[in-house]
Structure formats: structure tokens, C-alpha cells
């Protein structure tokens, strides 16, 4: 069975299951997964401690080839990972809907807006309009700095780009409008603490 990403590149599970080569250990893509893993561990901690129920949304797939070796069984032979239409994570905390995206950048001084898609920004607008809590967790991989940035700022910077402005969010803007998160042990990324501070959900 073969899976393909939205850009057509074939997904190779052996690359994840096999032992990574030393020279690839700190590649940008692998470090991007680390942010997701840290958030997943944090979500698991929140769940076990009955603090919040937040999960990563499954990546949608489009099945294009199916074989039927038996009448009672179907085998997927080829499928494609579809481009996600919303954000990465969602759930509920103290009766409020939580929805957020995780982004990592290798740039030292900015987060390119090309990391987002128009439909994701539209989704953020819709969540905000329904009084949901929507935000982005940003990691600057070179310095291992992590920030919580409310989605209203993403919408604002996106609109600025659409009107001909800069195509990225500066680190200074994230520092001024966001909230720094220090890596911890349990949870690894305590974004719930930031939510309590901003939205006064104590």
C-alpha cells in the first residue's frame, strides 16, 4: 500500500520506523515533529490529570485504489494524505472550545506566513467569532524558544499580507504580542497556564 502527501511525494513508513541516520538526526523536519510530540505529551498529561480533553486531529486521506482479495475484506493499495482544512489540535477546557495550530520555523527572526493556508486562517476567524479560544504555538527551532500567539494576531498579520504588506510575522511582533512558554517536565509545553492567564479561566 502506498500513501502520498498533498504534494505527491510518497510516504515511506520505513523512514519513521527504522533507526535514523546520525546526519539526519537534527534535520528541520525531524525537529518539527518534536514540537508535535511535545504537545501530544502535554495533552496526554492534561487528559490523565482531568485538566482538559484536547487531541490532535487525524490527517485526512483520500483512498484511490482498493483491492478485494476476499469478499469480507478490503485492502487499501494506494492513498493520499489530503491537505488539512482546519488546524492541528482541538478540544475542550473548562467549558470552552480550544482550537490551535503548531508551527516551527528555522528562521531566526520571523515566521513566514506561507506556513499557513488561507482556509486555516478563515477557520481561525470562524472559531474566534464563536467565542472559541484559538491560537498558535510557535517554536523557533534554532533557539528552542516557544511562544503562544492568539489567533487574532495571525488574522491581523495575514490581512496585512493580503493588502500588500510583509509576508511574515517578525519575531519581535511575536515577542511583543505573544507569551513565552518554557519547556517543562509535566507537562512539556504548559499552554493551559497561558490560557488561564489570558482568558482568566481560573
Cβ atoms of residues 41 and 188 within 8 Å? yes
Between CA 14 and CA 180 the distance in angstroms is 36
Enter the pTM of the model: 0.74
Helix (H, G, I), strand (E, B) or coil at 150: strand
CATH class held by domain 2-199 = alpha beta
Peptide bond into 187 cis (omega under 30): yes
Number of other residues whose CB lies within 10 A of the CB of residue 59: 13
The Cβ-side half-sphere exposure at 189, using a 13 Å CA radius, reads: 22
Per residue of the chain (202 residues), give pLDDT as tens. Answer: 555 555 455 656 555 444 444 433 333 333 444 899 999 999 999 999 999 999 998 665 666 677 777 767 777 767 665 555 678 899 999 999 999 999 999 999 999 999 999 999 999 999 999 999 999 999 999 999 999 999 999 999 999 999 999 999 999 999 999 999 999 888 999 999 999 999 987 6
pLDDT at 201: 75
Between CA 38 and CA 163 the distance in angstroms is 35
pLDDT at 200: 83
Amino acid at each position: 500500500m502506498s500513501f502520498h502527501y498533498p504534494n505527491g511525494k510518497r510516504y515511506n513508513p520505513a523512514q519513521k520506523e527504522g533507526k535514523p541516520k546520525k546526519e539526519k538526526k537534527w534535520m528541520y523536519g525531524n525537529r518539527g515533529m518534536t514540537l508535535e510530540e511535545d504537545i501530544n505529551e502535554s495533552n496526554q498529561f492534561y487528559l490523565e490529570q482531568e485538566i482538559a480533553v484536547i487531541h490532535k486531529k487525524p490527517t485526512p486521506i483520500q483512498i484511490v485504489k482498493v483491492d478485494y482479495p476476499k469478499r469480507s475484506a478490503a485492502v487499501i493499495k494506494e492513498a493520499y494524505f489530503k491537505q488539512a482544512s482546519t488546524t492541528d489540535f482541538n478540544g475542550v477546557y473548562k467549558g470552552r472550545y480550544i482550537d490551535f495550530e503548531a508551527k516551527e520555523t528555522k528562521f531566526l527572526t520571523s515566521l513566514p506566513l506561507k506556513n499557513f493556508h488561507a482556509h486555516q486562517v478563515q477557520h481561525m476567524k470562524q472559531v474566534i467569532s464563536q467565542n472559541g479560544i484559538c491560537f498558535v504555538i510557535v517554536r523557533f527551532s534554532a533557539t528552542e524558544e516557544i511562544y503562544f500567539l492568539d489567533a487574532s494576531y495571525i488574522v491581523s498579520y495575514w490581512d496585512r499580507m493580503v493588502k500588500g504588506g510583509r509576508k511574515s510575522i517578525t519575531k519581535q511582533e511575536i515577542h511583543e504580542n505573544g507569551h513565552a512558554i518554557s519547556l517543562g517536565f509535566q507537562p512539556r509545553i504548559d499552554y493551559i497556564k497561558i490560557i488561564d492567564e489570558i482568558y482568566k479561566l481560573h
